[in-house]
Amino acid sequence: MVSTGELQQYLHGIHYPANKNDLAKTAQGNNAPQDVMDLIDRLPDRKYPSPVDVNKAVGSID
């Protein structure tokens, strides 16, 4: 399982607020492995005002 810390490493350089597509593009541009991309794909499709909001969304995925 991907930790929120690991996820945030691959989101380096993103500008918030960001939507799910922005998260995926940034992670891909930072050469994120497939498990990180899969995690982003499972996130709700909405706007994330900050990294804290992304981490909260990750925590709500079962």
Give the per-residue pLDDT at 1. 85
Is residue 55 within 8 A of residue 24, CB to CB? The reply is no
- Structure tokens belonging to residue 6: 């690991």
**Mean residue pLDDT across the chain:** 97
- H-type helices in 1-62, by residue range? 4-10, 20-29, 34-42, 51-59
Taking the model in full, what pTM does it have?
0.94
pLDDT digits (tens, 9 = 90+) for 41-58: 999 999 999 999 999 999
| Plot region of 13 (φ>0 → left; ψ -120 to 50 → alpha; else → beta) | left
